[in-house]
Amino acid sequence: MTTDITDKIIYTAKDFASDQDIRWCPGCGDYSILAQVQRTLPSLGITKEKLVFIAGIGCSSRFPYYMDTYGFHTIHGRATAVASGVKIANPDLSVWITAGDGDLMSIGGNHFMHLLRRNLDVNLLMFNNRIYGLTKGQYSPTSERNKITKSSPVGSPEYPFNPTNLALGANGTFIARSMDRDPKHLQEMITRTAKHHGTSFLEILQNCNIYNDGAFFLYTEKETKEDNVVYLQHGKPLVYGKNKDKGIKLDGFHPVMVDLNDGVHSVNDLLIHDESSRELAFILSSFVDHAHLPMPVGVFLDIARDSYEETIAKQFEQVYEKGGKGDINDLLKGRSTWEIK
């Protein structure tokens, strides 16, 4: 999302740190996300007092306490709805929502999807650790099937959501993914998130080292990362692998992995990423359904559409243009009156 910016005040990351002690577990991925947000904000040029961070309940939802901006730690699942009210009533603010996978996709699922279709100009960061952290380790709607947790001692019987698919299904306009352990990429994605006009949804894979340690190590650790992650870049072919020797091409609407060293395929055969296609975004986002395909990170979709608050601002303008602002005594009088003398 965008908001009026300033180039007068120069901030550093530290300016965004509040005076509160951080109470996450040592080693928690949330620390990195906090750091990247604080590092990115100075470059966005938004004055501090215009920033509002809003969260529900969960480990990740403590985020606002650690930001020296306006902040609201609301109730479980409702951050998106509270944020809607904040933004609509005061469109000048730069509104950020931080939410856990449970907070956003379990109890908060309904407000999540309605926020996306309404396209309010807010930034939504989901800390996906695929677990309920704060309540000490139950499976979440993004936990893998068969996962053993406190509430699923013989394995979770549920199929998880694919968060980016869900966001696409809900008619979102900006959908991206990054990882706590890739600070540079994460900063880049936070910037993109901030710049998009409309609801920006950024899924951040986050390690909960207490209840779901290593959930994303395949994608974040040196040894395995490059062969298992593909970085999406607009207009660029989908190439990945330690030696940049793997690629993805489309076979009709089926994505297939190809070996660029097989003598048959070249970069020219590959799928070119296009951030403006909802259909392509869905194909990419569905890679996770196919075991042999890498995990895409980056911007899946970035399309322009009027924001909700913009639309109603226009409606007000039209009403005022047509009939002017209302006379309050006319309102009191109503349609018809009579005089008692």
Partner 1 sequence: MSEEILEKKIKNKKEVESVTVRFAGDSGDGMQITGSQFTDTTAIFGNDLGTLPDFPAEIRAPIGTTYGVSGFQLQFSSKDIFTPGDEADVLIAMNPAALKVNIRDLKKGGTIIVNIDSFEKKNLELAGYEGTPLEDNSLDGYYVYKVHITKSTLEILKDLPLGTKTANKCKNFYALGLMYWLFDRPMEITLNWIKEKFAKSPDLVEANTRALHAGYNFGETAEMFGERYEVKPAEHFTQGLYRNIMGNEALSIGLICASYNTGLKMFLGSYPITPASDILHNLSKHKKYGIITFQAEDEIAAITSAIGAAFSGAIGVTTTSGPGMALKTEAMGLAVMTELPLVIIDIQRGGPSTGLPTKTEQADLLQAIYGRNGECPIPVIAACTPSDCFDIAYEAVRIAIKYMTPVIVLSDGYLANGSEPWLVKKYEDLPKIEVNFRTEVEGFAPYLRDENLARPWVKPGTPGLEHRIGGLEKQNITGNVNYEPENHELMVNLRAQKVKNIENDIPLLKIEGEQSGKLLVLGWGSTYGSITAAMENQKAKGNKVSHAHLRYLNPMPKNTEEVLKSFDKVLIPEMNMGQLSKIIRSEFLIDAIGLNKVKGSPFKAKEIEEKIEEILHGGK
Ligand X SMILES: Cc1ncc(C[n+]2csc(CCOP(=O)(O)OP(=O)(O)O)c2C)c(N)n1
Cβ burial, residue 223 (10 Å; 0-12/13-18/19+): exposed
Site for ligand SF4 in 154-173 (CB under 6 A): none
101 binds Mg ion (CB under 5 A): yes
238-to-22, 182, 273, 302 alpha-carbon distances in Å: 39, 19, 7, 17
What, of ligand SF4, partner 1, ligand X, none, does residue 332 touch, CB below 5 to 8 Å by kind? partner 1
28 binds ligand SF4 (CB under 6 A): yes
129 binds Mg ion (CB under 5 A): yes
155 binds a second copy (CB under 8 A): yes
Query: What is the pattern of x (binds partner 1, CB under 8 A) and - over residues 127-166?
Result: -----xxxxx-xx-x--------xxxxx------------
Closest CA to 34 of 26, 42, 22: 22
Site for ligand SF4 in 105-144 (CB under 6 A): 129, 133
CB of 272 to ligand X, least distance (A): 35
Query: How many CB atoms neighbour CB 88 within 10 A?
Result: 16
176 binds partner 1 (CB under 8 A): no
Count of alpha carbons within 13 angstroms of residue 229, beta-carbon side? 22
Would you say 224 or 320 has its CB closer to a second copy?
320
User: Do the beta carbons of residue 301 and residue 168 sit within 8 Å?
Assistant: yes
The residue range among 76-84, 167-175, 209-217, 317-325 that interacts with ligand SF4, by the rule CB under 6 A, is: 209-217
Which residue in the block uniquely carries the two structure tokens 């609407």? 253
What, of a second copy, Mg ion, partner 1, none, does residue 283 touch, CB below 5 to 8 Å by kind? a second copy
279 binds a second copy (CB under 8 A): yes
244-to-179, 186, 221, 249, 284 alpha-carbon distances in Å: 20, 21, 17, 14, 19
CB of 11 to ligand SF4, least distance (A): 26
Q: How far from chain centre, in Å, is Cα 275?
A: 16
Which residue in the block uniquely carries the two structure tokens 């075991």? 291
204 binds ligand SF4 (CB under 6 A): no
48-66 burial, b at 16+ Cβ within 10 Å, e below that, comes to: bebbbbbbbbbbbbbbbbb
- Quote the tokens at residue 38: 């604080």
φ/ψ of 73, rounded to 5, equals: -100, 95
* Cross-strand pairs, 8: none
Site for partner 1 in 83-122 (CB under 8 A): 83-90, 92-93, 106-107, 109-111, 114
What, of a second copy, Mg ion, ligand X, none, does residue 165 touch, CB below 5 to 8 Å by kind? a second copy
Would you say 162 or 206 has its CB closer to a second copy?
162
CB of 27 to a second copy, least distance (A): 30
283 binds a second copy (CB under 8 A): yes
Q: Footprint of Mg ion on this chain (CB under 5 A)?
A: 100-102, 129
Q: What does the binding site for ligand SF4 look like in residue numbers (CB under 6 A)?
A: 24-25, 28, 30, 59, 129, 133, 208-211
